[in-house]
Amino acid sequence: MSELARAFDSQWALLPFHHRFRAMSFSQMDHLSNLPDELLVTILSLLPTHIAARTSVLSRIFRHLWKASPSLLFITQDFPPPHDKNFIAMADHALLHRHPSLPLLSLSLKSSSSSSSFLLDSYMPSLLAKALSLGLRHLTIEGYLNLLPFLPTIFSIQSLESLSLTSNFHFWSGQYYVFPSGFKMTFLRSLSLQLYTVDPASLSRLVSELCSLEDLYLHIYNMDKIRLSSQTIRKLELISSYQKLDTVELFLPSLESFHMTSCYSLSRLSHIRGKLPLLKRALVTLDGVHAEHISAVTGLLSCISHVEVLSLHVKENVVEIVKYPEPILLQAGKYMPNFPNLKHLDVGLFLHERNLEAIVMIFNNCPVLESLKLIHKIPEFTLVRVSGRKKNRARGRKKKDRRSRLPHNANGNCFYAYFRNLHLEENRKEFSKLLRKKCSYKRRAQN
């Protein structure tokens, strides 16, 4: 009952003084039984449903109180065979036999293994049908489940305000998750999808049809193209775990916060484009970037050029060290975009001479920049030309291959630099002069 004790402590401070005085004055009595039923139901709603159900043995007051909880959390791994009958009985009392006068705000269905998911999979239609009739507002489904047969029922719950679908189920026959169309989810404001093998066209249609969607979380596993268009989305978190991702297109005129992460090397990423005119904050983390991705990185900078706070961390997986390495933030023959609203910039990059020059160009295009943080990131492997051949060198093998061009800071290293108050003219001139010395080399034709 440790979870019940923690839930009780969290609500004790919110209790009115006269209720606390009454509970403490009867030291020999059951303190929980003296609390108001509304507060007890709130405490029980913070617990998984199978734990809240155990309180029915405490006293007559708790015998049926757990059934009125507005938030239900069913975890099927706690009911392995032959205890699955207990899960069915619990779900019947808490949900299927629930009185229509008792509101159901939140329903969470979770399973961590394929064996326990079988129970939830077979019982899912009944649970969703009952939740539909009770006006469910928040739905979370997580586990090793094939959610494709249940998508029509899920998207028919018009009262939903938030929806989170996470599944580790893989299709092996070339099948994809295809979302239904023509639904009327006018209250849905938050959507989280973490699914394998989603049809790109279906995802684009889904996002465009959700007329009230504001927060969107996408974890992409098996999609080569991402195209999102919405007039209402304000916050987007996009995580890609697929190496063959080729194109990202974002047309989100109301977007204010953007978070993009690549978990693996983006070997095929060639285009990132879109329109984000109201963007204020952006956090971008890219892994496995090299010279072939320069057009994608520069396209991303153009998309987020209206940002006010930018954190950009790029890790180059393999860098071809030649006499003059290419800048990853600047494409040959194109201008660096202007950042008229950028106030705070945080960049983690392999800061060789050319990349540092690109940073100076960004700085010159940021008229209101106030702070700049630079972090030197050493690539994991380096490809060095030796006598016309290419040999792999492990990280840190050659000092010249991992050298930073940043000026030394107060700690005596050149791997980290932080410049503040750059909106002041004298500081801006001093910073520009300092970094330009590190970029003042004579370019010669590469042989």
pLDDT tens sequence across 144-198: 888 888 999 999 999 999 999 998 888 777 788 999 988 889 999 999 999 988 8
What pTM did the predictor assign?
0.83
Q: Which two tokens stand for residue 19?
A: 């209720």
What is the pLDDT, as a whole number, of residue 78?
A: 63
Task: Assign 236 a pLDDT band (cuts: 50, 70, 90).
Answer: very high
Within a 13 Å sphere around the CA of 244, how many CA atoms are in the beta-carbon half?
A: 5
d(C-alpha 333, C-alpha 326), whole Å:
13
Query: What's the total number of domains in the chain?
Result: 1
Q: Is residue 261 part of a domain?
A: no
Q: Are 91 and 123 in contact (CB under 8 A)?
A: yes
Query: So what's the pLDDT on residue 21?
Result: 41
Distance between CA 310 and CA 275 in Å, rounded? 16
Give the Cα separation of 430 and 62 in Å (integer). 70
Domain assignment present for residue 321? The answer is yes
Q: Quick check: is 285 in a domain?
A: yes
In this prediction, residue 397 carries a pLDDT of 47
Indicate whether 190 belongs to any domain: no
The pLDDT-based confidence of 428 (bands split at 50, 70, 90) is confident
The pLDDT value given to residue 5 = 56
DSSP, residue by residue, 357-416? HHHHHHHHT-TT--EEEEEE---SEEEEEETTEEEEE-TTS-GGGS---SPP-TTS-SSE
What's the pLDDT at 30? 57
Per-residue pLDDT, averaged over 430-442, amounts to 69
Q: What pLDDT shows up at residue 231? A: 94
Helix (H) / strand (E) containing 257: strand 257-262
Please indicate, yes or no, if residue 227 is contained in any of the structural domains.
no
Tell me what pLDDT residue 24 has: 45
With respect to residue 210, please indicate whether it lies within any of the assigned structural domains: no
Kindly indicate the confidence band of residue 218, based on its pLDDT and cuts at 50, 70 and 90: very high
- Say whether 425 sits in a helix, a strand or coil: helix
With respect to residue 395, please indicate whether it lies within any of the assigned structural domains: yes
In angstroms and rounded to an integer, the radius of gyration of the C-alpha atoms of the chain is 28
- Work out the mean pLDDT of the chain and round it to a whole number: 80
Question: Taking 90 as the threshold, does the pLDDT of residue 202 lie above it?
Answer: yes
> So what's the pLDDT on residue 31?
65
Residue 308 has pLDDT above 50, yes or no: yes
pLDDT score recorded for residue 122: 77
Does 408 reside within a domain? yes
pLDDT digits (tens, 9 = 90+) for 96-118: 888 888 888 999 988 876 666 67
> Can you tell me the mean pLDDT for 117-129?
80
Label residue 401 by pLDDT band (50, 70, 90). Answer: low
Instruction: Over range 215-232, report the average pLDDT.
Output: 91
Average pLDDT over residues 285-297: 82
Q: Which domain holds residue 439?
A: 280-447
pLDDT of residue 25: 42
Is the pLDDT assigned to residue 39 strictly greater than 90? no
